[in-house]
Amino acid sequence: MSYKKWIFIAIFLFGIGLTLGFATPASVSSLISEDIAALEEQLASILALPKFLIAIFIFAKNVSVLLLSFILSPIFCLVPIVTLIANGWILSFVSTLVVQETSLGFVLAGLLPHGIFELPALILGQAAALNFGTIAVLALFRKGGRNLLLPSLRLNVKYLLIAVALLLPAAIIETYITPLLLT
């Protein structure tokens, strides 16, 4: 299967998450309000750090998610699938809540500057994880499938490195530029 198809599969899964987030009733936010409050406390402690440490934290968190997803992808691609759907759901659900409280412009100002890099990195990295995970599973069950494993690993690590490279400007923009646009 060509790599473009994996990109489309990743976009499709992310789109499922977006759709689920938009379809989730706002009343669900009251059910998770304690979780949101705890998250806000953790976020406040992180935002108290110097900006360069915040950028490093954001970058490291995003890279660790991609790497973990890639490493665990041979378990029937469950982690990349869940990661794509969950990220889409969180993005649309939280955006819907924020739009209700502020405006669409506020949400776009908060997402677009770094999202231009972060979303393609997510899609590219998770497509690599899906591709590698599928090949790894096929290598177990298909005769001669092991011959595909090393070339697949090499190819997908290249795409994973591109995704990681895209996460660096995303973290810098999210730390230094996005807050200026939201004030």
Give the per-residue pLDDT at 74. 93
Q: Which long-range contacts (CB under 8 A, 24 or more apart) does 154-160 make?
A: 155/3, 155/131, 156/70, 156/128, 156/129, 156/131, 156/132, 157/128, 159/3, 159/124, 159/125, 159/127, 159/128, 160/66, 160/67, 160/70, 160/124, 160/125, 160/128, 160/129
Domain limits, the chain = 50-78+94-182
Give the per-residue pLDDT at 141. 86
Residue 160's nearest CA partner among 114, 123, 113, 134 is 123
**Average pLDDT by stretches of 10, the chain with 183 residues:** 91 97 81 67 75 94 97 94 96 91 92 96 97 92 82 94 98 94 85
Q: Considering the entire predicted model, what is its pTM? A: 0.90
Give the per-residue pLDDT at 136. 93
Roughly what angle, to the nearest 10 degrees, separates helices 78-101 and 3-23? Answer: 40
Give the per-residue pLDDT at 37. 66
Give the per-residue pLDDT at 48. 76
